[in-house]
Structure 1
Amino acid sequence: MMRFAILAASLLAGSALAQGAPEPSMAPQLPPGYLAPEAAMASAVMLPPPPARNSPAEIADRYLYALSARGIGGPDWVAATEQISIQAPAFQKALTCAIGKLPGPATRKLLARTAADFVPPMAAAKAKFNRPRPFTTDKGQACDPETADGVGAALGMAYPSGHSGIGWLWALTLADALPARANEIRAFGKGTGDLRVACRVHWMSDVQNGRVLAVSIHEKQRATPAFQADLAAARAELEAAETLRCE
């Protein structure tokens, strides 16, 4: 949860997308979200459990994890390594290139507040289901340096994927703000989760259900006047911003 708390706090401060991450010693303070705590937590309650042992979905998870070993050192592995944190410069570049604009204060505020609603139910679901990361089941190689001991305790549990959920939540939100870039933005959001499978730190069902949680949170946020007001401000800001050219 710490990575996401720092991200949301630094976004609101205007640092994560523009100036880099805050110092690790800083105690992160989550900005206020759009939802009442009980409304956000209800989304975690609605999540299905991880696939049962030897169910078709669990067999697919194990197959895709084994298959991902073929990609170690390949392009997706490298991209996953470079985007290991949602504060990493490569992640920030991917996000801004998907938008085609440099996010200003109104857009950063919108993203920070949406993330603030996502973090608590995501953390609650991880604690409830307590699903091990795939690399811990066979001591397999993963791209995150925090997995070097084969345990990766600092990463927390696997289900659902926080990166996948945050990426998809932001994709849904930014596509609302900038419909003309919806295809590029959604591709970025999907890729955020897919790279976690390439990194071998998540089962595919972790990624899929991170997106399910994101959709549930997003639908509730869209129904709030505060979200709609911040969305309108972000839309105006992005439409007025200079278009970026990414290579």
Structure 2
Amino acid sequence: MSRIGTAVRVAQVSLLALLALGGQAVAQAADAGPKVTDAHFTIAPGYLERADVPNSLMLLGPPPAAGSAALARDEEARRATLDLRGAERWKLATQDADLAFPKPAENFSCALGVPIDEANTPRLYGLMVKLLSDAGLSTYGVKNKYERTRPFAVHNEGTCTPDQEAILREDGSYPSGHTAAGWAWALALSEIAPDRSNELLARGIAFGQSRVVCDAHWQSDVDGGRIMGAATVARLHADPVFLADLNAARGEVEAARAKSLKPAQDCAAEAAALSQTK
């Protein structure tokens, strides 16, 4: 097992304890930055120092106000997903909700067309681990300022991840950290494999929409998350370590293609789930 894999697995064991405690107190003690309620974003160090992570307080406005057209749009988007609950798209959204590696790498393997794993693409795998932290942490300035209530709590419903609902109730809904990470992954992967950019960007969009399907986020939360994911990747282009990993990951993907390696996931089933609208 690689050093990245060992470190991530040890951190994931610790994450279970953090989630049991709500993660909040431990995350606050870990650094002097914003309070981080969801400990998924502190599993491993990112590329950026906390001071260099994009500041959502400077990039985003407030969430939609009560009675606004924007809030009506959020409610309309939520209602459009009601028929998906329990369907294959709901099940895929449940998989997308899992930020513990290797699941995120698996979730983007079909779109890339090759397996993303420690054995075949270790630099790419490590890049995704680090991006999770940088993109997720970029959302917390605004999360903490507005502490927006999530749709499942407003409507007294459940999500696709009942075990995470206690954490979600304490973690601001706006903007979506899951979406920020998913969009950052899609953008970076599109640079690594530009010939698969349409598939990868579509998967990144769907990854964010999974949060609406799950009833865990409002549409405007997802929209804001995409802004923060894009801001994070833009900032990382000034980071030499990220750029080196990006270049190394291109070589790994080329090598995997030369070996005709294919994802282990059922890509046809994933495509069918993604196409489901009711």
* TM-score bracket, shorter-length normalisation: 0.7 to 0.9
Is the aligned partner of 1:13 residue 2:4? yes
- Give the stretch that moved more between structures: 54-63 or 167-176: 54-63
Report the counterpart of residue 223 of structure 1 in structure 2: 238
Q: 1:117 aligns with which of 134, 140, 147?
A: 134
Structure 2 Cα separation of the partners of residues 99 and 75 of structure 1: 21
* Normalised TM-score (structure 2): 0.73
Residues 202 and 130 of structure 1: is their aligned pair in 2 closer, same or farther, counting only changes over 3 Å?
same
Which residue is equivalent to 1:239? 254
Deviation of residue 172 (structure 1)? 0.3
1:178 aligns with 2:178: no
- 1:71 matched to 2:62: no
State the Cα distance separating 1:43 from its structure 2 match.
Answer: 4.1
The CA distance in 1 between the partners of 2:135 and 2:57, in whole Å, is 9
Q: 1:82 to 1:221 in 2, by over 3 A?
A: closer
Amino acid at match of 1:110: L
**CA RMSD after TM alignment:** 2.8
Structure 1: runs of 5+ lacking an equivalent? 1-10
Tell me the amino acid that sits aligned with residue 4 of structure 2: A
Question: 2:150 is matched with which residue?
Answer: 133
Change (3 A) 1:199 1:233: same
Amino acid aligned to 2:97 = I
Paired position in structure 2 for 1:38: 51
Assess if the C-alpha contact under 8 Å between 1:14 and 1:108 holds in 2: no
* Aligned equivalent of 1:48, options 40, 61, 72: 61
Deviation at 1:91? 4.8
Query: Secondary structure at the residue paired with 1:83?
Result: helix
**Structure 1 residues 185, 16: closer, same or farther in 2, change over 3 A?**
farther
CA distance in 1, matches of 2:94, 2:111: 19
> Post-superposition shift, 1:101?
1.6
**Bigger shift: residues 132-141 or 35-44:** 35-44
Tell me by how many angstroms 1:119 deviates: 2.7
Aligned partner of 2:226 among 211, 232, 242? 211
Give the Cα separation in 2 of the matches to 1:190 and 1:199: 15
2: CA distance between counterparts of 1:170 and 1:132? 26
Alignment partner of 1:94 out of 104, 107, 115: 107
Aligned residue type for 2:153 = T
Q: Contact 1:44/1:213 (CA < 8 Å) preserved in 2?
A: no
Are the structure 2 counterparts of residues 73 and 16 from structure 1 closer, same or farther at C-alpha, using a change threshold of 3 Å?
Answer: farther
What secondary structure sits across from 1:136 in the alignment? helix
- Contact 1:82–1:88 (CA under 8 A) maintained in structure 2: no
Using the TM superposition, give the Cα deviation of residue 154 of structure 1 relative to its aligned residue in structure 2, in angstroms: 0.9
Deviations 1:40-62 (A, max 9, x none): 14244322211122221111101
Distance 2:108 2:3 in 1: 16
Alignment partners' CA distance in 1, 2:183 and 2:48: 18
The match for 1:193 is 208
Deviates more, 1:80-89 or 1:186-195: 80-89
Q: Give the counterpart of 1:85 among 80, 98, 105.
A: 98
- Cα deviation, residue 66, structure 1: 2.8
Query: What corresponds to 1:161 in structure 2?
Result: 176
Q: Contact 1:16–1:87 at 8 Å: present in 2 too?
A: no
Higher mean Cα deviation, 137-146 or 183-192?
Answer: 137-146
The answer (yes or no) to whether the contact 1:84–1:144 under 8 Å persists in 2 is: yes
For 1:194, the aligned partner's letter is Q
Give how far 1:234 is off. 0.9
Deviation per CA, 1:128-165, whole angstroms, max 9, x where unpaired? 12000001112023222136xxxx33122211111111
